[in-house]
A and B are shown apart, each in its own frame.
Chain A
């Protein structure tokens, strides 16, 4: 494994799948969830927010709300707060989230993902919903050298196998 790569797993996350109701815009959803003033939910494959609350754009009118240290009621609170604006579902346990950090992180991901992960096509704040090794992934670039890759929990072991196999050849 190259020196410039660290792979860890992010656990204990709160995740809520958010889908806008008919005719509801991204701004209203951002506002209702209490993002920074004027900050809308991203209408493109990007994410906004911070550790306490981030909104990850996963498709037209759909987001993953994410919290790093959720209380037991966090998901329910988000769902209630969005009542009337968006349909929301607790999916906190649906994903295993791998964090790839270091100079080789992008190189490793590029081996798997057939989307352009280089600046300016992809940069901190970017999101890609794509496939790696036949496994659906959500890639989220955090900073210049860090990415979160979310995969469905049941596929976590297969993805981890690809990750370690590919990392060994860097």
Chain B
């Protein structure tokens, strides 16, 4: 065990059991999976992406490139999770990934011996031919060999939700800068949100041995969090990663709930959308590695991570350490290790200088670690300026090449980072609106200065935003030394030296990229894959840019760096979907009779968001066609009814309502008599048909317009655009009443008799309510309407009552003896009558194509009129609406099939149109169809071939009038 006897922030009274690759281990509450593994002397935790090299734990934070593990099992398996971010929980199951058969004996590790051929660009150069083999052979093979963890392939059993928040100030990061700023802003009275991605806010304060205001830094952090917790104007979001900045001061974050294990019934993660007037980027900095031979071996660790494991988690990451540092903070790690009883064999620093007085007796070597020895670290070869190489035995190399401010978010709206010679790294340049950087993210690394700077920034913001309170005084701490010298790469390494650990990119790959002309950082990234994958190269990317700069004779500032894009951390698709999965994938609209129809055993179909009853099968019926035929025949021979409430309904009101409708429709409505309905067609600006429906006039200034189900919202939008933008001079208003009315079509020769019984108060005679007439009346004391309209071609009425009375009306119609029919029977009857519907109003047909050419008024203007006169739209050869029936009446015609002249070769050049709608007509006893056919209206009686290469053989069909049933309209006027 490497657990220290005392110290750390873990709770030693709470032992937790977990398994690693099936082996039972123990840790404490407050551990991460990474610290618990180290405490159990587990050093090998992963195999690398390409070479399958053994890897250990490099960092103690979210930037971890190596220690990716799969959490949980079965459907709960969550791959590619950095062990450094996983709070240890009792019963946690973690497994290593990208290895076979086991982590210790991974056969794919032979890849590293073939590494000379696996250089950058290898795939691009090697798997070029045969071209066909890429998809079927090469790619699957490569993906199996190189990769990360695998998804379970099972539905995600966890749930996710969403929260929205608004604040004056969002503080991103709860380290020293974030806490200091949040305290100042909170005390001053601003509405503050503090989002911290750690398991507990505090950031570096939980891992260092500094003191603030006379307390240990971790104590100060906990007191600060407690004070923020009781401020009503401050909200602390622990374990929350802000992953993106968007326009309009919008910030997106993911909160991990339940410390790794969601409570029963609770979501696993929550998506936050935050609007913040101002935000402070207090994301700190990440230590960068140094490129030397074997720098990826288990036992090589970031110096700050070593300090973290010692101070925060009370774990010794090794027994004998070499600290390789170009920074003053590396010396602090040496102190931390010594304090924890770890032997520090040497501190290797390329800078000259002596040993600090408090570290007397520690050996300082001016030089560089050139290579580490061993599969896991057993020793380090130290190169000194005099050209000598000394081997020092050790099992831990703690490295510190400098600190990179964590400024990825600052580039999310396209801003470019700028080079700072002082800190040898990039800082935010211009920032997204409302955002400012503080603390280490702004290049300020000294603790005392950070606390003061952050406090000052927040207090100034409070004043700018007019907060009334007093921000108080900043807490005081000493400034530690934070010098750094450039140290990117150690030349002359005998073994592989890694730049990007997660993607196995070495210094040689970067050099190759430069040689092959990839001299921009963005090109080099794509060629070598440096900076890609789950860690996005947080640790090693800048080192790669420095190498490229050196190889191309530029400074790092000239070479530049990439601009990070959202998301800053991998985000589960599940948390973006949130509530919207399975049956809640999108909202469903239920028609007024839905519950009633469900009770009757109806089957439903989707019509846009609507669920519509498709048919009402009876127990003895063997298939849907039998049901639909019964529904059609019952309607044609007796009386049927159908819920048509889903059709769009719009009240168009006002003194100029008639004038507006005249401009919207191809035909005239201002002349429509009160109490009458008229069928109308409207065009888009481009002259194509947009929608159709009936409009009824209830008063001089009151029109009631209907649309197809699919176009309801679009037509209202079209009307609103016309009245608000095109003709604001017109005094006309419009509102949707789709949801107010439950409307049932009651159709069939017995419909009048049935309704006469049901609605004795209305005179339904032809004289009182002729075809296309409409009346308002009261049904059981509630307002209702009746329209003499017919889609089925039968004597028919549409009755509307307020939607909450819809089920009662459906019940009454059913009890009175009407047969309920669904959308399928509705469709059959409209094909039998030759009415165009969605299949024909497909956005590519003109009014003339559909047989409405003569409806287009000549004496008035209307939307689409001019464009409808374009030659291409008036060409008589355009496919136009026809009816089709199979010459052999036993054959069937399918929608989508093409229409060819008899004897013509089935090639596109001979194509004369297609079948738009087809069905079996129980009224006629054979298949019928509607189609669009070139010169169609003049070809009635001709034969064409219905060519269906996908689903069946050709069928010979006769072209006919599209109205198959009652072409004279005797029935509907009956």
Q: Which A residues, 56 to 101, have Cβ-Cβ distances below 8 Å to chain B?
A: 62, 72, 75-76, 86-95
**CB atoms of A111 and B161 under 8 A apart:** yes
Q: Is the CB of B164 within 8 A of A165?
A: no
Which residue of chain B has the shortest Cβ distance to A73 in the bound complex? B783
Contact between chains at B782 and A94 (CB < 8 Å):
no
Inter-chain contact B803/A166, CB cutoff 8 Å: no
Q: Is the CB of B267 within 8 A of A154?
A: no
Q: Contacts of A22 on B, CB cut-off 8 Å?
A: 654, 731
Partner of B166, one of A116, A133, A158: A116
In the complex, chain B residues whose CB is within 8 Å of the CB of A87: 651, 653-654, 701, 733, 735
**Contacts A19-B733, A157-B588, A169-B267 known; A113 to B164 CB distance under 8 Å?**
yes
Are B164 and A90 in contact, CB atoms less than 8 angstroms apart?
no
For residues 253 through 272 of chain B, which have their beta carbon under 8 Å from a beta carbon of chain A? 265-267
Across-interface contacts of B803 in A (CB, < 8 A): 93-94, 153-154
Chain A nearest CB, measured from B605 CB (Å): 15
B interface SS class:
mixed
B804 contact set on A, CB distance < 8 A: 93, 153
Are the CB atoms of B161 and A166 closer together than 8 Å?
A: yes
- Interfacial chain B residues near A89, Cβ < 8 Å: 651, 653, 735, 737, 740
Cα distance A93–B273 in the bound complex, in angstroms: 34
Q: Given contacts A22-B731, A133-B579, are A118 and B166 in contact (CB under 8 A)?
A: yes
Closest A residue to B267 using CB positions: A169
The reply to whether A116 and B267 form a contact with Cβ atoms under 8 Å apart is: no
Chain B residues in 8 Å Cβ range of A157:
588, 590
Q: Sort chain B's interface into a size bin.
A: 35 or more
- Report the separation of the CA atoms of residues A112 and B164 in the bound assembly, to the nearest whole angstrom: 7
* Docked complex: A113-166 residues within 8 A CB-CB of B: 113-116, 118, 121, 133-135, 152-159, 161-162, 165-166
Quick one: CB contact mask for A27-65 with B, threshold 8 Å, 1 for yes? Answer: 000000000000000000000000000000000001000
| Least distance between A69 CB and chain B CB atoms (Å) | 15
Residues of A within 8 A of B144 (CB): none
B580 at the interface (CB under 8 A from A): yes
Say if the beta carbon of A105 comes within 8 Å of chain B.
Answer: no
Q: Mark B920-964, 1 if CB is under 8 A from A, else 0.
A: 000000000000000000000000000000000000000000000
Is B161 within 8 A of A133, CB to CB?
A: no
Q: Indicate if the CB atoms of B275 and A93 lie closer than 8 Å.
A: no
CB distance from A17 to the nearest CB of B (A): 5
For the complex, give the distance between the alpha carbons of A32 and B833 in Å: 50
* Docked-complex contact A154 and B584, CB < 8 angstroms: no
Cβ contacts under 8 Å, A166 to chain B: 161, 579
Kindly provide the distance from the CB of A48 to the nearest chain B CB, expressed in whole angstroms.
21
Give A76 to B778 CA distance when docked, in angstroms: 13
Contacts of A114 in B (CB 8 A): 164, 273
B residues within 8 A CB of A90? Answer: 740, 783, 802
Per the bound structure, the CA–CA distance linking A165 and B805 in Å amounts to 28
Report chain A residues within 8 Å CB of B736: 94
| Docked pose: A63 CA to B654 CA in angstroms | 16
Q: How close is B917's CB to chain A, nearest CB, in angstroms?
A: 26
A156 to B802, CA, bound (A): 16
Which B-chain residue is minimally distant from A154 (CB atoms)?
Answer: B589
Closest B residue by C-beta to A113: B164
Q: Which of A75, A86, A121, A134 contacts B586 (CB 8 A)?
A: A134
In the assembly, what is the distance between CA of A121 and CA of B902, in Å?
72
B741 and A93 contact, CB distance less than 8 A: yes
Complex CA gap A136/B569 in Å reads: 32
Q: Which B residues from 560 to 593 make CB contacts under 8 A with A?
A: 579-580, 583-584, 586-592
A110 beta carbon closer than 8 Å to chain B: yes
B634-660, CB < 8 A from A: 651, 653-655
Q: Which residues of A contact B701 (CB under 8 A)?
A: 87
Instruction: Report if A169-B162 is in contact (Cβ < 8 Å); known contacts: A89-B653, A116-B275, A135-B587.
Output: no
A111 contacts B163, CB within 8 Å? yes
One of A72, A115, A153 near B739 (C-beta < 8 A): A153
Residue of A nearest to B250 (CB): A114
Contacts of A152 on B, CB cut-off 8 Å? 589, 739
Most buried by B among A22, A89, A154: A154
Distance between B856 CB and nearest chain A CB, rounded to angstroms: 29
A31–B733 Cα distance when bound, in Å, is 21
Task: Tell me, rounded to whole Å, the shortest Cβ–Cβ distance linking A70 to chain B.
Answer: 11
Contacts of A113 in B (CB 8 A): 164
Answer yes or no: B777 CB below 8 A from chain A CBs: no
Question: Which residues does chain A contribute within 8 Å of B586, judged by CB atoms?
Answer: 134
Q: Does B624 contact A (CB under 8 A)?
A: no
B165 within 8 A of A: yes
**A94 near B587 (CB under 8 angstroms)?**
no
B654 adjacent to A91 (CB under 8 Å):
no
Q: Which of B579, B591, B610, B651 contacts A165 (CB 8 A)?
A: B579
* Cβ-defined partner of A21 (8 Å) among B591, B610, B733, B783: B733
Q: Which of B159, B191, B654, B782 is within 8 Å of A72, CB to CB?
A: B782
User: Is B781 interfacial (CB-CB < 8 Å)?
Assistant: yes
Q: Is there an interface contact between A19 and B802, defined as CB atoms closer than 8 Å?
A: no
Q: Beta-carbon contacts of B724-741 to A below 8 Å, as 1s and 0s? A: 000000010111111111
Please state if B654 and A21 are interface contacts (CB–CB under 8 Å).
yes
Q: Is the CB of A91 within 8 A of B610?
A: no
Q: Shortest beta-carbon distance, B580 to chain A, in Å?
A: 7
* B266 adjacent to A154 (CB under 8 Å): no
Q: Which of A17, A155, A159, A169 contacts B735 (CB 8 A)?
A: A17
Q: Which residue of chain A is the closest to B265 with respect to CB atoms?
A: A168
Contact B740 A94 (CB under 8 A): yes
Taking CB atoms, residues of chain B closer than 8 Å to A121 are: 166
- Write out the residue numbers on chain A whose beta carbons fall within 8 Å of the beta carbon of B191: 118
The answer to whether A92 and B739 have CB atoms under 8 Å apart is no
Instruction: Tell me which residues from 263 to 295 in chain B have a Cβ below 8 Å from any Cβ of chain A.
Output: 265-267, 273, 275
A residues less than 8 Å from B164 (CB atoms): 110-115
B163 touching A155 by the CB < 8 A rule?
A: no
Which residue of chain B lies nearest to A118 when distances are taken between CB atoms in the complex? B166
Contact between A154 and B590 (Cβ–Cβ < 8 Å)?
A: yes
- Bound together, the chains give a CA A112 to CA B671 distance in angstroms of 47
A154 touches B579 (CB 8 A): no
Chain A nearest CB: distance from B958 CB in Å?
A: 43
Nearest CB on B from A170, distance (A)? 10
Which residue of A is nearest B655, CB measured? A21
- Report the separation of the CA atoms of residues A93 and B807 in the bound assembly, to the nearest whole angstrom: 13
Contact status B161-A91, CB under 8 Å: no
Cross-chain contact A154 with B273 (CB below 8 angstroms): no
Contact A162 B579 (CB under 8 A): yes
Question: Looking at the complex, which one of A21, A88, A158, A169 makes contact with B266 (CB distance below 8 Å)?
Answer: A169
**List of A residues within 8 angstroms of B584 by Cβ:** 133, 158, 161-162, 165
Do the beta carbons of A154 and B591 come within 8 Å of each other?
Answer: yes
- Assess A155 versus B589: contact at CB under 8 Å? Given A89-B653, A113-B164: yes
Q: How far is the CB of A82 from chain B (nearest CB, A)?
A: 11
A-chain residues with CB within 8 Å of residue B273 when the two chains form the complex: 114
Identity of the chain A residue whose Cβ is nearest the Cβ of B806 in the assembled complex:
A93
Q: List the B residue with the shortest CB-CB distance to A110.
A: B164
CB distance from A80 to the nearest CB of B (A): 11
Q: Give the complex CA separation of A46 and B589 in angstroms.
A: 28
Q: In whole angstroms, how far apart are the Cα atoms of A153 and B733 in the complex?
A: 22
Query: With contacts A21-B654, A87-B654 known, is A110 near B165, CB below 8 A?
Result: yes
Find out whether the CB atom of A91 lies under 8 angstroms from the CB atom of B266: no
Contact call B735/A158, Cβ cutoff below 8 A: no
CB distance from B663 to the nearest CB of A (A): 17
Q: Mark B1-28, 1 if CB is under 8 A from A, else 0.
A: 0000000000000000000000000000
Q: What are 18 inter-chain pairs, A to B, with CB distance below 8 A? A: A19-B733, A21-B733, A76-B783, A87-B701, A88-B653, A89-B651, A89-B653, A91-B739, A94-B736, A94-B738, A94-B739, A112-B162, A115-B164, A155-B588, A158-B588, A158-B589, A161-B584, A169-B265
Known: A88-B653, A152-B589. 5 other contacts (CB 8 A): A90-B783, A91-B735, A91-B737, A133-B587, A154-B589
- A interface with B by C-beta (< 8 Å): 17, 19-22, 62, 72, 75-76, 86-95, 110-116, 118, 121, 133-135, 152-159, 161-162, 165-166, 168-169
Shortest beta-carbon contacts, A-B, top 4 = A87-B653, A93-B802, A154-B589, A158-B587
